[in-house]
Structure 1
C-alpha cells in the first residue's frame, strides 16, 4: 500500500461537505440534548433480552484542507446507547484507533461524552472528563485512545462524539452497521471528491434502509502561504473553487444483534459493514496516479521481498542435514516425510501468526530452533525445493483472523503461511508448526476458505479445506442383568481432524487432567480404566478404551428401559436459533458412527425397539441412518451421521436444524425389554 499524504502546494483547496435533508428521518439529536421520553425505548421481540441498545450511531467522512498541513480526511461519529442490564455496563467503555506512519499521524481534536440518568423524573447528566480518557500504544504505528463514561448504571443513556483528522487519504474509515447488541439506527455519510477513486466493499446479511448517492458541487476555500513578497514577509493567498463530488448515504435501521453461535469463524466475517480501498487519484493538471493492486502485483511483491520470497533461495544453513536425509531415504514419499518431520522437530513455532513475514530470518530461526509461522514453513519450502520437489508457500488467513475477500488483494488480510508441495501428480498442503499435523491435513485454524499460492509459475488460489475430514467410530459392548444394571466396554476410534483435536487436548492438558475431565463429562456413569493408544502416532487412528457401569438398575417391574445412544449420542441440537442468515462453517466434512451391541438378559425378550430411519439433507449435503436389529439374543443399534459439506449457507440452515432435531429425537429412543 502506498501511503498517500497530500501536502500544501500540491492541492490548494478546502473541502466542505454538507448533506441535505435526505429521504429518511434520522432519530439523531443534537449532542447534549436529551428528553425524559428518550429513556423509553421498545426493543424488537427478537432482542428483548439485550444488555444494551444503540439508539443511534451516525458517522460522516469528508475531506478538508488544513492550513499549513495539507489535505486531510475527517471522520466524525455521534453515538447514543441505552444501558439495559448489568451486563450492558461494559458498553460505557469504548476506544478510537489512531495511526502514525512516516512522520505523519492521525489526531483526535474532539472527544466529548455524557452519561444521562433519570432521577426522580428528571434527567441528570455527567460529563466525560480527562480522568476517563487514556492512551494505549498497541505498536509503533497504532495507538488506541480509550475512554470510559462516568456514573453508568442500569437504565443510563450514554452519548459520545469524536472527530479524527487523518493525513492518510487511503484510510477512509470503514463503518459497521451491526453490533453484538441491537442497533435501532445506523447511518454513514461520505463525501468523496472526484479527485479520489475508492473501491467500496459491503458485506453482511442485513438490508439497507437507504443506499443512496447524488452528485454535488462542493465549495473549496483555502488560505495558503505563497512564499515571501518584496518586503520579505510571507504572502497569504486565498483560492475558492467548486469541485465535483459524490455524496453517499447508507442507513440501516432496527439491525438485530449478531451473537456468537456454533460453527462461526470470526465475528468480523458476518457483521454488516462497508469498507473502502483507495484505488486512484486524478487531480486535473496536477497528478494522476493509480493505487489499484492486483493479485499478480501482490504475488510479485512477495516473491521479491527479502522477508519472504527471496529468503527461500538461501539454503546453505541446512545442507548437511538435507544430505543426511537424502542418504537415509531414497524413496520420494519417504524423503518428503523425513524433511517434513525434520523441520517440525528442529524449528519450533513460537505461536506468532499476526503477519506473513520473517521476524528474525530463516538462518537465525533454524540455528535457534524457534521461529514464527513464516520462518518455520519457509524453511520447509526451501528444504523441499533443494531436495528437488516443486514447493511453494501458500498465504492464508486463519479462522480467527477472518476470511479473505478475493476482490481485495491486500497482504494485511493474510496472517499465516503453509506449504504446497507436488508429489506424484497431486498437491499437498503441509504445515510444520503443529506437531500433530500430517501432509495434506492442516490444523483446524487454517481451514478457512482459499489461500494464495505464491509462485513464479503457478500463482493462484488454493482450497485450504481440501480433504479435511473428521471421522469418529464408537463401539459399545453392553451387558445387562435382570435388574437392568449395565456394565460394558467402550472403544472409540478417531481419525483425521477428530483425532488431531483430541490429541491436541490430551497433550495440552496431560493424560491425568484429560482423564479427570473425561470422567467428569460422563458423570452419569461410572467410567474407569481409560486407556489411550496411538497418542503420538499421528498417522494412526487415535483409540480410547474404557469400562462403563451404572450405579443403579434400569429395570421397572418386569421391564428394562435402555437408551442405546445414552453415552455417545447427540442429546442436544447445537442450533438454537430458529433462523440464521450467515453460514454454518464446520471447516471440514465429518462422519460419526456409533455401534451399540446389547446382550439380552436370560428370561427377557424385546418388547419395543426404535424403528429404522434414513434422513438426507438437500443436494447430498448430509445423511443420517439409524437401525436396530435383533440377532442371537443381542440387540444391535447402529447410528451414522454424515455431514458431506464443510459449510452450509444460511438458506440451508432450516434443513440442517431439523436434521439435528431428528437425530436428537432418535438418539433419545429406548429399547424396551420385557421379562418372559
Structure 2
C-alpha cells in the first residue's frame, strides 16, 4: 500500500548538487572603474548573471514546482546605463495555480567619502501590477543610482507550471562578464535544449543523483498512527553553461529583430513518464506539433463552426463573380466584420462566433473566421502557423514557437496567403510582422507542411523628376511616382489618417529647405491599385556658385547621402524584408548663359548571384542633362558572408550619386 501511495503521489525531493559560484567581494577599485576593459563605449556591464532552474515538491499543494533562482551584479558607468537597474518579471496566475516571486533582495554600492556605502532595496520599492487577466508584472528599480555604482539583486520565482522552462537570455546590449546557467531536471521529464544565436555557448550535460521522498502515516489499527518514510532514487539531468566575456549585441542596419540573433538558451518539453503513470508525448516532430495544436478546443474545434456568417456573406457574393474577385470580397468582408484587437495568438480567446458578434478579436479569431468563410464559399483554406518577426524564429518542432496564424488558400495556379488583421493587406501580401522566414500549414487530418514566407514579387517605386536650375541656384520642378505592393502599403500606413498639412510638413522636414505645392495622391484608399503621388517643388540655394561656375549633385534632394553599411564586419544576415525595384528618370534644365562643363560617368554594377543591381546612366544635351537611375534588390535576405560585396555595392552608389555636375558661365 505504501508503495502505491508513493507512485501515485510522486512526492519529489531534489538533492541539490550545484556548485555555488562564489562572487568576489566588491572593492573600492571596482567602484572606481570608469569603463569596461574591452568595450570602452558601454554604459554598463553585467559583471555576473546567474540563472539556476530546479524542481522541488510543494507538500502543501501536493505537486511539483519549478524554482528559478536569479542573481545579477551590474556595474553602471554612465547615467545612460541606469535603465539596467530596472528589473521586470512576469508571473502567470490563474484561479487554480499561480506563480509567485520571493526573496527579492538588492543592494546598490557607491563610494562616499572614500568608503563603500550600501543602499538596500526596500519592500515598498517592489511593485506588482496586473497587466492582463492572467499576467502580473513585478517590477523594481534599484535605489541610489549614480555613475560608477554597482548594483546586485536576486530573487526566486516559484512556478507550478513545471512543464515550461522560460528562455534564458545569454547576451545583452552591454557586455556580460560571467554567465552561470544551470538547469536540473528529473529524468521523468524529457526536454530538448535549444541554443539560439551566433555566439558559441559551451553547453555541458551530466547526471547527478536525486531521490523521491515520500513521508506519511500508516494506520496500524492502534489509536496512534506510525510515521514512515520511503525513498526512490532517480537520475537528475543537469544542463550547465559557464561562459565568460560575452560581448554586447550591437545593432546592425537592416535587421528587423535583433532578438532573432541574440544568444539564448531554451528548453522544449518533449515527453513525460512518471513512475506508475502514462507516457505523454508533447512535441518530437512537426507532425506531433501540428496534431497537438489542431485538436485543441480553442483552435481546431473553432474551424468547424458555421451558421453565423453565411447570410451576410452571401449578400456580397453575387453570381458570376470570378474566383479572384470572390477571394478579395471575402477578405475585405472579414476585415470589416472582425477588427483586430492588436493581440497576437494562434488560439482563440473568446471564440470565432463571439468575436464575429462583438466585431473584434485576436489574430486567431480574425483569421480563423476568414478560413471558415473561405471554406464555406467553396475554397480549400487552411491555417498557417507563424511566429511574428518580434517573436523569433521556430527552428525546431515546437508548440511554443508560434504566436500568430494566417490563412492559406490552394488555387489551381498555386497557394496564396491572406491576413484579415491588417486593413492594408491584400491577397498574398501579408503584414510585415508576419514575414518571418517559414510558417507551418496544418490540415484537418493533422498533415502539415512548411510554407515559405519569403516575398518573391518585387515592390516597385518608379518615377520621373524634372529639375530647372536658374543662375541664382534656385531649383524648381515637378515630381511624380508610382508605388506598388509593399512600397504602396507602407505609404498608406504612413499617409492615411494624417491631415494634408501635417503630411506636407513631414515631407518638407525630410527634404530640408524644400517647399512643396500642388500635392496630390490617388488610390490611397484603393489598396489593390498602385499609389500615384505628384507635386511641384522649389528650393533656394540648391547649388554652389563658385566664381563663374555652378556645382551641384544632379539628383539634388533624392541623392543617396550615406552608406548604411559602414562597419568592418557583419555578424547577421541582411534583412530587406521584401525585394524592391526602383527606376527614375531625371531631366535637369540648366540656366541660360551656362554650358555643361563636367558630368559624372555612367556605371552599371551588380551583386553576386544576381541578387541586385544598380545602373546610373547620364547624358548631356545643349541645355539639359538626362539621367536614368535603376536600383534592384531581388531577394529578401542576403547572408552575412556576402557583406563585403553589399558594403561595396552601396558605397559605389553613394559615391556616384554624390559626384557633381559643373556648369560654366559663357
Q: In the alignment, what sits opposite 2:534?
A: 545
Q: Out of 589, 594, 611, which is 1:604 matched to?
A: 594
Question: SS of the counterpart of 1:637?
Answer: strand
| TM-aligned CA distance change 1:351 to 1:107, over 3 Å | closer
Q: Out of 367, 378, 384, which is 2:368 matched to?
A: 378
1:434 and 2:426 aligned: no
Q: In the alignment, what sits opposite 2:479?
A: 490
**Contact 1:16/1:62, CA 8 A, preserved across alignment:** no
**What are the within-5 Å matches in structure 2 for residues 612-627 of structure 1?**
612-627=602-617
CA–CA distance in 2 between the matches of 1:538 and 1:185? 52
Query: C-alpha displacement at 1:606, in angstroms?
Result: 2.2
Q: Out of 237, 240, 265, which is 1:246 matched to?
A: 237
Q: Out of 641, 650, 656, which is 1:660 matched to?
A: 650
1:592 and 2:585 aligned: no
Question: SS of the counterpart of 1:661?
Answer: helix
Question: SS of the counterpart of 1:509?
Answer: coil
Query: C-alpha displacement at 1:542, in angstroms?
Result: 0.9
Q: Out of 26, 29, 33, which is 2:23 matched to?
A: 29
CA deviations over 1:330-372 (Å, ceiling 9, x no partner): 322222222233333x314233332123344434443444333
CA–CA distance in 2 between the matches of 1:232 and 1:615? 96
Q: In the alignment, what sits opposite 2:169?
A: 176
Question: SS of the counterpart of 2:364?
Answer: helix
Query: C-alpha displacement at 1:229, in angstroms?
Result: 4.5
| TM-aligned CA distance change 1:42 to 1:183, over 3 Å | farther
**Contact 2:268/2:398, CA 8 A, preserved across alignment:** no
Question: SS of the counterpart of 2:605?
Answer: strand
Query: C-alpha displacement at 1:227, in angstroms?
Result: 4.3
| TM-aligned CA distance change 1:48 to 1:235, over 3 Å | farther
Q: In the alignment, what sits opposite 1:97?
A: 90
1:343 and 2:337 aligned: no
The TM-score with structure 2 as length reference comes to 0.91
**What are the within-5 Å matches in structure 2 for residues 131-530 of structure 1?**
131-208=124-201, 210-216=202-208, 218-220=209-211, 222=213, 224-233=215-224, 235-240=226-231, 242-283=233-274, 288-344=279-335, 346-403=336-393, 405-410=394-399, 412-456=400-444, 459-530=448-519
| TM-aligned CA distance change 1:418 to 1:67, over 3 Å | closer
1:64 and 2:56 aligned: yes
Query: C-alpha displacement at 1:178, in angstroms?
Result: 0.8
**After the TM superposition, which of the residue ranges 43-52 and 244-253 deviates more from structure 2?**
43-52
**Contact 1:16/1:64, CA 8 A, preserved across alignment:** no
CA–CA distance in 2 between the matches of 1:616 and 1:308? 47
Question: SS of the counterpart of 1:274?
Answer: strand
**Contact 1:477/1:490, CA 8 A, preserved across alignment:** yes
**Contact 2:293/2:299, CA 8 A, preserved across alignment:** yes
**What are the within-5 Å matches in structure 2 for residues 526-537 of structure 1?**
526-537=515-526
Query: C-alpha displacement at 1:13, in angstroms?
Result: 4.2
| TM-aligned CA distance change 1:70 to 1:520, over 3 Å | closer
1:564 and 2:554 aligned: yes
Query: C-alpha displacement at 1:538, in angstroms?
Result: 1.9
Question: SS of the counterpart of 1:174?
Answer: strand
Query: C-alpha displacement at 1:80, in angstroms?
Result: 0.4
Question: SS of the counterpart of 1:567?
Answer: helix
- Return 5+ residue gaps in structure 1 as ranges: 1-5
| TM-aligned CA distance change 1:309 to 1:167, over 3 Å | closer
CA deviations over 1:484-510 (Å, ceiling 9, x no partner): 432111112211101110111111323
Query: C-alpha displacement at 1:406, in angstroms?
Result: 3.7
- Return 5+ residue gaps in structure 2 as ranges: none
CA–CA distance in 2 between the matches of 1:133 and 1:466? 46
CA deviations over 1:426-448 (Å, ceiling 9, x no partner): 21112223232221111222211
Q: In the alignment, what sits opposite 2:69?
A: 76
CA–CA distance in 1 between the matches of 2:59 and 2:304? 50
The TM-score with structure 1 as length reference comes to 0.90
Query: C-alpha displacement at 1:476, in angstroms?
Result: 0.9
CA–CA distance in 1 between the matches of 2:169 and 2:357? 45
**Contact 2:7/2:276, CA 8 A, preserved across alignment:** no
CA–CA distance in 2 between the matches of 1:435 and 1:565? 35
**Contact 2:283/2:398, CA 8 A, preserved across alignment:** no
**Contact 1:14/1:66, CA 8 A, preserved across alignment:** no
Query: C-alpha displacement at 1:70, in angstroms?
Result: 4.5
CA–CA distance in 2 between the matches of 1:331 and 1:286? 56
CA–CA distance in 1 between the matches of 2:564 and 2:211? 57
How many residues get paired? Answer: 659
Query: C-alpha displacement at 1:40, in angstroms?
Result: 4.7
| TM-aligned CA distance change 1:111 to 1:329, over 3 Å | same
CA–CA distance in 2 between the matches of 1:46 and 1:512? 49
1:122 and 2:118 aligned: no
CA–CA distance in 2 between the matches of 1:331 and 1:190? 58
Q: In the alignment, what sits opposite 2:14?
A: 15
Indicate the RMSD between aligned Cα atoms, in angstroms: 2.8
Question: SS of the counterpart of 1:94?
Answer: strand
Q: In the alignment, what sits opposite 1:3?
A: none
Question: SS of the counterpart of 1:487?
Answer: strand
CA deviations over 1:159-210 (Å, ceiling 9, x no partner): 01222333332133432111122111112122333333210000111123x4
CA–CA distance in 2 between the matches of 1:214 and 1:234? 41
CA–CA distance in 1 between the matches of 2:148 and 2:266? 33
